[in-house]
Amino acid sequence: MATEFVARGADLELVGIRKEFPGFTAIEDLDLHIPAGEFFALLGPSGCGKTTTLRLVAGLDEPTKGKILIGGKDVTETKAYQRPVNTVFQSYALFPHMSVLENVAFGLKQRKIDDPMTKAQASLDLVELGHLALRRPAQLSGGQQQRVALARALVNRPSLLLLDEPLGALDLKLRRQMQIELKAIQMEVGLTFLHVTHDQEEAMDMADTVAVMNKGRIEQMGSPEKLYDRPKTVFVSKFLGQSNLFVGKVEEENASSISINVAGNKITVPKDRAEKHKGTIAVGVRPEKAFFHEEKPKLGAGHNLIGPGEIIDIRFTGVSNQYLIEIPNVGNVTVFAQNIGKSPVTELGAKVWVSWKVEHAFGLSDLPTNTGTETVTQSITVQ
Protein backbone atom coordinates (compact mmCIF):
# COMPACT_ATOMS: atom_id res chain seq x y z
CA MET A 1 0.00 0.00 0.00
CA ALA A 2 2.73 2.37 0.94
CA THR A 3 4.74 1.32 -2.05
CA GLU A 4 2.65 3.02 -4.70
CA PHE A 5 4.39 6.04 -6.12
CA VAL A 6 1.73 8.69 -5.84
CA ALA A 7 2.19 12.16 -7.17
CA ARG A 8 -0.81 13.78 -5.53
CA GLY A 9 -1.56 14.67 -1.97
CA ALA A 10 -4.14 12.78 0.02
CA ASP A 11 -6.42 14.06 2.71
CA LEU A 12 -5.81 13.32 6.34
CA GLU A 13 -8.50 12.61 8.86
CA LEU A 14 -8.09 12.20 12.58
CA VAL A 15 -11.12 10.81 14.37
CA GLY A 16 -11.40 11.02 18.15
CA ILE A 17 -7.66 10.78 18.71
CA ARG A 18 -6.49 10.51 22.28
CA LYS A 19 -2.92 9.99 23.41
CA GLU A 20 -1.96 9.28 26.98
CA PHE A 21 1.53 8.99 28.32
CA PRO A 22 2.26 7.69 31.79
CA GLY A 23 1.26 10.56 34.02
CA PHE A 24 -0.32 12.93 31.52
CA THR A 25 -2.59 13.21 28.55
CA ALA A 26 -0.87 14.77 25.55
CA ILE A 27 -3.91 14.87 23.29
CA GLU A 28 -7.51 14.67 24.36
CA ASP A 29 -10.14 13.89 21.81
CA LEU A 30 -8.82 15.44 18.63
CA ASP A 31 -10.85 15.54 15.42
CA LEU A 32 -9.24 17.02 12.37
CA HIS A 33 -9.70 16.93 8.65
CA ILE A 34 -7.10 18.25 6.26
CA PRO A 35 -8.21 18.34 2.61
CA ALA A 36 -5.83 17.02 -0.05
CA GLY A 37 -3.29 19.52 -1.35
CA GLU A 38 -3.65 21.92 1.53
CA PHE A 39 -0.90 23.58 3.51
CA PHE A 40 -2.07 23.04 7.06
CA ALA A 41 -0.34 24.46 10.11
CA LEU A 42 -0.71 23.15 13.62
CA LEU A 43 0.25 26.05 15.82
CA GLY A 44 0.80 26.03 19.54
CA PRO A 45 3.23 26.55 22.38
CA SER A 46 5.63 23.79 23.34
CA GLY A 47 3.93 20.98 25.18
CA CYS A 48 0.54 21.57 23.57
CA GLY A 49 0.53 18.18 21.83
CA LYS A 50 1.29 19.33 18.31
CA THR A 51 4.44 17.25 17.87
CA THR A 52 2.70 14.26 19.42
CA THR A 53 -0.07 14.66 16.84
CA LEU A 54 2.52 14.67 14.08
CA ARG A 55 4.23 11.56 15.45
CA LEU A 56 0.90 9.78 15.57
CA VAL A 57 0.25 10.61 11.93
CA ALA A 58 3.76 9.47 10.98
CA GLY A 59 3.25 6.22 12.86
CA LEU A 60 6.11 6.80 15.28
CA ASP A 61 3.69 6.62 18.21
CA GLU A 62 0.39 4.83 18.58
CA PRO A 63 -2.77 6.62 19.70
CA THR A 64 -4.43 5.42 22.88
CA LYS A 65 -7.77 5.83 21.16
CA GLY A 66 -9.13 6.98 17.82
CA LYS A 67 -8.50 6.46 14.14
CA ILE A 68 -6.14 7.94 11.56
CA LEU A 69 -7.19 7.93 7.91
CA ILE A 70 -4.96 8.93 5.02
CA GLY A 71 -6.69 9.23 1.67
CA GLY A 72 -9.71 7.52 3.19
CA LYS A 73 -7.75 4.43 4.29
CA ASP A 74 -7.49 3.56 7.93
CA VAL A 75 -3.79 3.45 8.76
CA THR A 76 -4.11 3.39 12.56
CA GLU A 77 -2.81 -0.15 12.83
CA THR A 78 0.02 0.18 10.31
CA LYS A 79 3.66 0.84 11.14
CA ALA A 80 5.56 3.97 10.19
CA TYR A 81 7.35 2.29 7.28
CA GLN A 82 4.04 1.19 5.78
CA ARG A 83 2.49 4.66 5.67
CA PRO A 84 2.57 6.91 2.59
CA VAL A 85 3.88 9.71 4.75
CA ASN A 86 7.27 11.39 5.04
CA THR A 87 8.59 13.67 7.71
CA VAL A 88 11.04 16.54 7.77
CA PHE A 89 12.30 16.17 11.31
CA GLN A 90 13.11 19.06 13.57
CA SER A 91 16.61 17.64 14.00
CA TYR A 92 16.66 16.73 10.27
CA ALA A 93 17.93 13.24 11.30
CA LEU A 94 20.09 12.95 8.19
CA PHE A 95 22.04 9.70 8.28
CA PRO A 96 25.58 10.76 9.16
CA HIS A 97 27.21 7.70 7.59
CA MET A 98 25.78 8.32 4.13
CA SER A 99 26.40 10.97 1.54
CA VAL A 100 23.74 13.56 0.89
CA LEU A 101 22.73 11.74 -2.29
CA GLU A 102 22.47 8.38 -0.50
CA ASN A 103 20.35 10.02 2.15
CA VAL A 104 17.93 11.33 -0.44
CA ALA A 105 17.85 8.02 -2.32
CA PHE A 106 17.23 5.99 0.86
CA GLY A 107 13.43 5.97 0.73
CA LEU A 108 13.36 5.25 -3.02
CA LYS A 109 15.72 2.30 -2.57
CA GLN A 110 13.63 0.87 0.25
CA ARG A 111 10.58 0.94 -2.00
CA LYS A 112 12.63 -0.48 -4.90
CA ILE A 113 11.74 2.36 -7.22
CA ASP A 114 13.62 2.45 -10.52
CA ASP A 115 16.61 4.65 -10.90
CA PRO A 116 16.76 5.99 -7.34
CA MET A 117 20.01 7.88 -7.84
CA THR A 118 18.76 9.92 -10.79
CA LYS A 119 15.55 10.79 -8.97
CA ALA A 120 17.49 11.69 -5.83
CA GLN A 121 19.80 13.93 -7.84
CA ALA A 122 16.79 15.64 -9.42
CA SER A 123 15.30 16.20 -5.99
CA LEU A 124 18.55 17.72 -4.77
CA ASP A 125 18.58 19.96 -7.81
CA LEU A 126 15.09 21.12 -6.88
CA VAL A 127 16.40 22.42 -3.55
CA GLU A 128 19.47 23.79 -5.34
CA LEU A 129 21.95 21.47 -3.66
CA GLY A 130 22.78 19.22 -6.58
CA HIS A 131 26.42 20.24 -6.44
CA LEU A 132 26.79 19.00 -2.85
CA ALA A 133 25.42 15.50 -3.51
CA LEU A 134 28.59 13.67 -2.54
CA ARG A 135 29.23 15.49 0.71
CA ARG A 136 28.41 14.12 4.14
CA PRO A 137 25.57 15.87 6.01
CA ALA A 138 28.00 17.07 8.69
CA GLN A 139 29.82 19.08 6.02
CA LEU A 140 26.75 21.18 5.27
CA SER A 141 25.38 24.27 7.00
CA GLY A 142 22.14 24.15 8.96
CA GLY A 143 20.14 25.64 6.12
CA GLN A 144 21.60 23.21 3.60
CA GLN A 145 20.87 20.27 5.90
CA GLN A 146 17.32 21.46 6.22
CA ARG A 147 16.96 21.48 2.44
CA VAL A 148 18.46 18.01 2.17
CA ALA A 149 15.94 16.79 4.74
CA LEU A 150 13.20 18.36 2.64
CA ALA A 151 14.54 16.79 -0.55
CA ARG A 152 14.81 13.40 1.18
CA ALA A 153 11.13 13.58 2.11
CA LEU A 154 9.83 15.14 -1.11
CA VAL A 155 11.58 12.70 -3.44
CA ASN A 156 9.25 9.96 -2.22
CA ARG A 157 6.21 11.91 -3.37
CA PRO A 158 4.37 11.12 -0.14
CA SER A 159 0.61 11.59 0.04
CA LEU A 160 1.27 13.68 3.08
CA LEU A 161 4.37 15.59 4.09
CA LEU A 162 4.89 16.27 7.78
CA LEU A 163 7.06 19.17 8.85
CA ASP A 164 8.15 19.24 12.47
CA GLU A 165 9.36 22.79 13.11
CA PRO A 166 11.91 22.30 10.37
CA LEU A 167 12.89 25.96 10.32
CA GLY A 168 13.41 26.24 14.05
CA ALA A 169 17.20 26.06 13.95
CA LEU A 170 17.70 28.62 11.21
CA ASP A 171 18.46 32.28 11.57
CA LEU A 172 15.83 34.81 10.66
CA LYS A 173 17.02 35.63 7.15
CA LEU A 174 17.46 32.01 6.10
CA ARG A 175 14.17 31.21 7.74
CA ARG A 176 12.30 33.75 5.60
CA GLN A 177 14.01 32.42 2.50
CA MET A 178 13.15 28.81 3.37
CA GLN A 179 9.54 29.73 4.13
CA ILE A 180 9.20 31.16 0.65
CA GLU A 181 10.90 28.16 -0.95
CA LEU A 182 8.83 25.70 1.02
CA LYS A 183 5.61 27.39 0.01
CA ALA A 184 6.72 27.47 -3.63
CA ILE A 185 7.58 23.76 -3.57
CA GLN A 186 4.25 22.91 -2.00
CA MET A 187 2.39 24.79 -4.73
CA GLU A 188 4.54 23.14 -7.38
CA VAL A 189 4.21 19.53 -6.25
CA GLY A 190 0.68 19.84 -4.87
CA LEU A 191 1.21 17.66 -1.82
CA THR A 192 -0.65 17.91 1.44
CA PHE A 193 1.59 19.57 4.01
CA LEU A 194 1.09 19.29 7.73
CA HIS A 195 3.34 21.84 9.36
CA VAL A 196 3.85 21.89 13.10
CA THR A 197 5.22 25.11 14.53
CA HIS A 198 5.19 27.41 17.51
CA ASP A 199 5.95 30.42 15.32
CA GLN A 200 2.68 32.24 14.70
CA GLU A 201 4.13 34.44 11.97
CA GLU A 202 5.41 31.39 10.10
CA ALA A 203 2.06 29.64 10.41
CA MET A 204 0.06 32.66 9.23
CA ASP A 205 2.48 33.38 6.44
CA MET A 206 2.58 29.91 4.90
CA ALA A 207 -0.55 27.98 5.75
CA ASP A 208 -3.92 27.88 4.03
CA THR A 209 -5.47 26.78 7.29
CA VAL A 210 -4.15 27.18 10.79
CA ALA A 211 -5.26 25.19 13.82
CA VAL A 212 -4.29 26.71 17.13
CA MET A 213 -3.62 23.99 19.65
CA ASN A 214 -3.49 24.33 23.41
CA LYS A 215 -3.28 21.74 26.16
CA GLY A 216 -4.02 18.82 23.87
CA ARG A 217 -7.04 20.38 22.19
CA ILE A 218 -7.63 22.50 19.10
CA GLU A 219 -8.82 25.89 20.31
CA GLN A 220 -9.71 27.33 16.93
CA MET A 221 -9.19 26.52 13.30
CA GLY A 222 -9.50 28.61 10.16
CA SER A 223 -7.71 30.71 7.62
CA PRO A 224 -4.96 32.92 9.05
CA GLU A 225 -6.98 36.06 8.23
CA LYS A 226 -10.04 34.76 10.00
CA LEU A 227 -8.13 33.58 13.06
CA TYR A 228 -6.42 36.92 13.39
CA ASP A 229 -9.49 39.02 12.75
CA ARG A 230 -11.86 37.07 14.89
CA PRO A 231 -10.19 35.00 17.62
CA LYS A 232 -12.69 33.13 19.72
CA THR A 233 -10.72 32.45 22.88
CA VAL A 234 -8.31 34.40 25.06
CA PHE A 235 -5.54 31.95 24.19
CA VAL A 236 -5.96 32.42 20.44
CA SER A 237 -6.24 36.20 20.74
CA LYS A 238 -2.91 36.28 22.59
CA PHE A 239 -1.00 33.51 20.84
CA LEU A 240 -1.77 34.87 17.39
CA GLY A 241 -0.53 38.43 17.60
CA GLN A 242 -1.36 40.75 20.47
CA SER A 243 -4.70 41.82 21.85
CA ASN A 244 -6.15 44.36 24.24
CA LEU A 245 -8.82 42.65 26.29
CA PHE A 246 -11.54 44.32 28.34
CA VAL A 247 -13.77 42.44 30.73
CA GLY A 248 -17.21 43.69 31.71
CA LYS A 249 -20.85 42.84 32.15
CA VAL A 250 -23.22 43.11 29.18
CA GLU A 251 -25.49 46.05 30.00
CA GLU A 252 -27.00 47.07 26.70
CA GLU A 253 -28.24 45.00 23.85
CA ASN A 254 -29.88 45.88 20.55
CA ALA A 255 -30.58 44.01 17.35
CA SER A 256 -27.03 44.04 16.04
CA SER A 257 -24.72 44.72 18.95
CA ILE A 258 -24.07 44.40 22.65
CA SER A 259 -22.22 46.75 24.98
CA ILE A 260 -20.29 46.03 28.12
CA ASN A 261 -19.49 48.38 30.93
CA VAL A 262 -15.82 48.60 31.82
CA ALA A 263 -15.39 50.93 34.80
CA GLY A 264 -17.91 53.36 33.37
CA ASN A 265 -16.68 53.10 29.79
CA LYS A 266 -19.07 51.64 27.27
CA ILE A 267 -17.48 49.17 24.87
CA THR A 268 -19.63 47.89 22.03
CA VAL A 269 -19.11 44.78 19.95
CA PRO A 270 -21.24 43.52 17.02
CA LYS A 271 -23.31 40.49 17.96
CA ASP A 272 -21.99 38.47 15.05
CA ARG A 273 -18.45 39.05 16.30
CA ALA A 274 -19.13 37.94 19.86
CA GLU A 275 -19.20 34.39 21.15
CA LYS A 276 -21.40 35.21 24.15
CA HIS A 277 -24.14 37.82 24.42
CA LYS A 278 -24.90 37.68 28.14
CA GLY A 279 -23.17 37.96 31.48
CA THR A 280 -19.57 38.99 31.96
CA ILE A 281 -17.58 38.71 28.77
CA ALA A 282 -14.18 39.68 27.41
CA VAL A 283 -14.02 42.03 24.43
CA GLY A 284 -10.80 42.62 22.55
CA VAL A 285 -9.23 44.74 19.88
CA ARG A 286 -5.91 44.45 18.06
CA PRO A 287 -3.36 47.16 18.96
CA GLU A 288 -2.94 48.29 15.34
CA LYS A 289 -6.68 48.86 14.97
CA ALA A 290 -6.77 51.23 17.94
CA PHE A 291 -5.96 54.95 17.75
CA PHE A 292 -5.28 57.57 20.35
CA HIS A 293 -6.25 61.23 20.43
CA GLU A 294 -4.82 64.13 22.39
CA GLU A 295 -8.21 65.76 22.74
CA LYS A 296 -11.43 63.98 23.35
CA PRO A 297 -12.74 63.37 19.83
CA LYS A 298 -16.33 63.56 18.70
CA LEU A 299 -16.98 60.17 17.27
CA GLY A 300 -20.14 58.54 16.02
CA ALA A 301 -21.91 55.46 17.30
CA GLY A 302 -19.64 53.27 15.19
CA HIS A 303 -16.73 53.83 17.56
CA ASN A 304 -15.61 52.78 21.00
CA LEU A 305 -13.88 55.43 23.05
CA ILE A 306 -12.15 55.10 26.38
CA GLY A 307 -10.03 57.49 28.37
CA PRO A 308 -8.46 59.72 29.25
CA GLY A 309 -5.29 57.83 30.04
CA GLU A 310 -1.59 58.47 30.19
CA ILE A 311 1.17 57.24 27.87
CA ILE A 312 3.51 55.28 30.12
CA ASP A 313 5.79 53.60 27.58
CA ILE A 314 6.80 54.11 23.97
CA ARG A 315 8.70 51.48 22.04
CA PHE A 316 10.13 52.14 18.64
CA THR A 317 10.12 48.98 16.50
CA GLY A 318 10.95 50.37 13.09
CA VAL A 319 7.71 50.04 11.14
CA SER A 320 5.63 51.24 14.06
CA ASN A 321 5.67 52.85 17.47
CA GLN A 322 4.12 50.85 20.24
CA TYR A 323 2.40 52.98 22.86
CA LEU A 324 1.41 51.68 26.22
CA ILE A 325 -1.42 53.73 27.68
CA GLU A 326 -2.57 53.45 31.25
CA ILE A 327 -6.25 54.16 31.66
CA PRO A 328 -7.43 54.57 35.26
CA ASN A 329 -9.67 51.70 36.44
CA VAL A 330 -9.37 49.97 33.08
CA GLY A 331 -5.74 48.96 32.80
CA ASN A 332 -3.06 49.20 30.16
CA VAL A 333 -3.90 49.43 26.50
CA THR A 334 -1.41 48.94 23.68
CA VAL A 335 -1.73 50.99 20.51
CA PHE A 336 0.46 50.54 17.44
CA ALA A 337 0.91 53.61 15.28
CA GLN A 338 2.57 53.27 11.90
CA ASN A 339 5.68 55.32 11.37
CA ILE A 340 4.44 57.21 8.34
CA GLY A 341 5.94 60.52 9.26
CA LYS A 342 3.06 62.00 11.24
CA SER A 343 3.03 60.11 14.46
CA PRO A 344 0.43 61.72 16.73
CA VAL A 345 2.31 62.22 19.98
CA THR A 346 5.66 61.03 21.09
CA GLU A 347 6.20 62.18 24.62
CA LEU A 348 5.64 60.13 27.72
CA GLY A 349 3.00 61.27 30.17
CA ALA A 350 0.72 62.77 27.52
CA LYS A 351 -2.99 62.61 28.27
CA VAL A 352 -4.83 60.70 25.54
CA TRP A 353 -8.09 58.99 24.59
CA VAL A 354 -8.14 55.62 22.83
CA SER A 355 -10.69 54.74 20.16
CA TRP A 356 -11.44 51.96 17.69
CA LYS A 357 -14.19 51.02 15.35
CA VAL A 358 -16.91 48.82 16.80
CA GLU A 359 -16.55 46.49 13.81
CA HIS A 360 -12.96 45.79 14.83
CA ALA A 361 -13.89 44.56 18.29
CA PHE A 362 -14.35 40.88 19.02
CA GLY A 363 -16.05 39.08 21.87
CA LEU A 364 -14.44 35.99 23.35
CA SER A 365 -15.97 32.84 24.75
CA ASP A 366 -13.81 32.76 27.89
CA LEU A 367 -12.31 35.21 30.33
CA PRO A 368 -8.63 35.97 30.79
CA THR A 369 -6.97 34.72 33.93
CA ASN A 370 -4.53 36.98 35.67
CA THR A 371 -1.80 34.40 35.43
CA GLY A 372 -0.94 35.38 31.88
CA THR A 373 2.58 36.65 31.46
CA GLU A 374 1.71 39.13 28.72
CA THR A 375 0.00 41.51 31.06
CA VAL A 376 1.21 44.36 28.90
CA THR A 377 -1.21 43.51 26.14
CA GLN A 378 -4.03 42.70 28.49
CA SER A 379 -6.42 45.13 30.09
CA ILE A 380 -8.56 43.85 32.86
CA THR A 381 -10.93 45.88 34.90
CA VAL A 382 -10.09 46.02 38.54
CA GLN A 383 -13.42 45.50 40.19
> Rounded to the nearest whole angstrom, what is the least distance from the CB of residue 232 to another protein in the complex?
35
**Judging by beta carbons within 10 Å of its beta carbon (0-12, 13-18, 19+), is residue 17 exposed, middle or buried?**
buried
Q: What distance in Å separates the CA atoms of residue 307 and residue 25, rounded to the nearest whole number? A: 45
If one asks whether residue 193 binds another protein (CB under 8 A), the answer comes out as: no
- Partner residues linked to 268 by β-bridges: 259
| DSSP state letter for 37 | T
Nearer to another protein, 59 or 231 (CB): 59
Residue type, position 1, single letter: M
Nearer to another protein, 98 or 305 (CB): 98
The least CB distance from residue 31 to another protein, in Å, is 24
In the chain, what is the straight-line distance between the N-terminal and C-terminal CA atoms, in Å?
Answer: 62
What character string, x for contact with another protein (CB under 8 A) and - otherwise, covers 34-73? ------------------------xxx-------------
- Decide: is 2 part of the binding site for another protein (CB under 8 A): yes
Scanning 79-87, 124-132, 253-261, 329-337 for contacts with another protein by CB under 8 A, the matching segment is 79-87
Min separation Cβ 37 and another protein, Å: 21
Interface residue with another protein among 10, 34, 85, 325 (CB under 8 A) is 85
Is residue 80 part of the contact set for another protein (CB under 8 A)? yes
Question: Smaller CB distance to another protein: residue 89 or 239?
Answer: 89
Q: What is the 3-state secondary structure (H, E, C) of 138-176?
A: HHCCHHHHHHHHHHHHHCCCCCEEEEECCCCCCCHHHHH
DSSP, collapsed to helix, strand or coil, labels residue 278 as coil
Rounded to the nearest whole angstrom, what is the least distance from the CB of residue 15 to another protein in the complex? 23
Across the beta sheet with 331-338, the strand order is 291-293, 351-357, 303-316, 320-327, 331-338
Query: Which is closer to another protein, CB of 6 or CB of 314?
Result: 6
Distance CA 271, CA 258 (A): 6
Residue 43 backbone zone (phi > 0: left; psi -120 to 50: alpha; other: beta): beta
Q: How far is the CB of 70 from another protein (least distance, A)?
A: 14
Footprint on residues 103-142 left by another protein (CB under 8 A): 106-107, 110-111, 136
What Cα–Cα distance (Å) separates residue 111 from each residue in 60, 82, 85, 106? 19, 10, 13, 9
For another protein, the closer of residues 81 and 316 by Cβ is: 81
Which positions touch another protein (CB under 8 A)?
2-3, 58-60, 79-82, 85-87, 89, 91, 93-97, 106-107, 110-111, 136, 152, 156
